[in-house]
Amino acid sequence: MRLLLSRPLPAAVEDRARAEFDTEIRALNTPMSADEMRRALAEFDAVMPTLGDAFSAEVFGHVPRPRCRLLANFGVGYDHIDVDAARSAGIAVTNTPGAVTDATADIAMMLMLMSARRAGEGERLVRAGGWAGWHPTQMLGMHLTDRTVGIVGMGRIGQAVARRCHFGFAMEVRYVSRSAKTLDFPANREGSLTALAAAVDVLVIAVPGGPETRHLIDAGVLAAMQPGAHLVNVARGDVVDEAALIAALEAGRIAGAGLDVYEHEPEVPAALRALENVTLLPHLGTAALDVREGMGMMVLDNVAALAAGQPLPNPV
């Protein structure tokens, strides 16, 4: 079984990959080029792509008889892979659900706190030598306890965020989702996204990426939010209309935002970087060693199943 890993991975994952398969590890941390993707499909039995590796219908079309039988995606989101085109080429696609849930929810909570309590702004103030000392009205933000959180997408990650908000901060939980959910905590399902946006203090985005959710958070949704509300995005960058968000932040129509993802990642607009009322993280959602090891092991479990002729554990 010949395997290509499209990025360097934690040592434990690379060691297992080399021990179990004929493994090539790409040395670069940048997305694969079209030529690299075509070679991957032609020369390997299984490939581990990840965010930015755009396995489009066009790429599959250039390799009419691929050797590859599995794209074992490193990550839960797979909107960079044309799954229908892969299946038409006889290639299965898997992902790494579950392994990313808690780590991503933790980042959402960190962004909620940083934005609401102006932590990023305060950290920059101290580093710049501009802090004149404590006083009673210094950098007053929003206390999250007993506030209302709105979850856009009540899947695994959305539920993990909501659970932390309810049990950890006594927050009222409201949500929108394609279907009603049976939950182990109280939550109210809203009839529309704009109704949700208007009703909450923090709006957290946790939907999958892809054409169906592109610019789901647009100028209309942002206009519906309360002036003191905060937006948090741990989904995909293009779920938010970034230009509309910048306009809302610049005009003070919402109080702040916390972002871990960007519409044209890794490019972050200068206008966004210049704002004090936004917290910006470099896509840290799953950036913890044990989490990335777990994701890598899940990738290899799917490759091992393919090699053994067994059902794939995590098909999409």
| 229 within some domain | yes
Within this chain, do residues 41 and 180 fall inside the same structural domain, yes or no?
no
Catalytic site residue 67?
A: no
| 316 within some domain | no
Environment class of 310 (CB within 10 Å of its CB; exposed 0-12, middle 13-18, buried 19+): exposed
Within this chain, do residues 136 and 270 fall inside the same structural domain, yes or no?
yes
Query: Catalytic pick from 24, 172, 265, 293?
Result: 265
Within this chain, do residues 188 and 136 fall inside the same structural domain, yes or no?
yes
| 313 within some domain | no
| 314 within some domain | no
d(CA 182, CA 204): 19
Catalytic site residue 166?
A: no
Within this chain, do residues 7 and 154 fall inside the same structural domain, yes or no?
no
| 226 within some domain | yes
What's the confidence (pLDDT) of residue 59?
Answer: 98
Statement: residue 295 has pLDDT above 90? yes
What's the confidence (pLDDT) of residue 98?
Answer: 87
Within this chain, do residues 208 and 219 fall inside the same structural domain, yes or no?
yes
What's the confidence (pLDDT) of residue 27?
Answer: 97
| 301 within some domain | yes
Catalytic site residue 283?
A: yes
Query: Catalytic pick from 7, 16, 164, 236?
Result: 236
d(CA 282, CA 275): 16
Within this chain, do residues 121 and 239 fall inside the same structural domain, yes or no?
yes
Angle CA(71)–CA(75)–CA(279) in degrees, nearest 5? 150
Query: Catalytic pick from 69, 163, 283, 293?
Result: 283
d(CA 103, CA 10): 17
| 271 within some domain | yes
Statement: residue 258 has pLDDT above 90? yes
Percentage with pLDDT > 90 across the chain: 99
Helices (H) and strands (E) in the chain, counts: 12, 12
Within this chain, do residues 76 and 124 fall inside the same structural domain, yes or no?
no
* CATH code of the domain covering residue 245: 3.40.50.720
Asked if residue 197 lies in contact with residue 150, where contact means CB atoms within 8 angstroms, the answer is yes
Within this chain, do residues 154 and 184 fall inside the same structural domain, yes or no?
yes
* pLDDT (tens digit per residue) in 46-90: 999 999 999 999 999 999 999 999 999 999 999 999 999 999 999
Within this chain, do residues 6 and 123 fall inside the same structural domain, yes or no?
no
Domain that holds residue 19: 2-99+288-308
**What is the domain count for the chain?**
2
Average pLDDT, the chain: 97
| 315 within some domain | no
* pLDDT (tens digit per residue) in 109-147: 999 999 999 999 999 999 999 999 999 999 999 999 999
Say how many C-beta atoms besides its own lie within 10 A of residue 62's C-beta: 14
Within this chain, do residues 270 and 297 fall inside the same structural domain, yes or no?
no
* pLDDT (tens digit per residue) in 10-46: 999 999 999 999 999 999 999 999 999 999 999 999 9
* pLDDT (tens digit per residue) in 209-229: 989 999 999 999 999 999 999
d(CA 113, CA 96): 27
Within this chain, do residues 245 and 113 fall inside the same structural domain, yes or no?
yes
Within this chain, do residues 242 and 111 fall inside the same structural domain, yes or no?
yes
**What pTM was estimated for this model as a whole?**
0.91
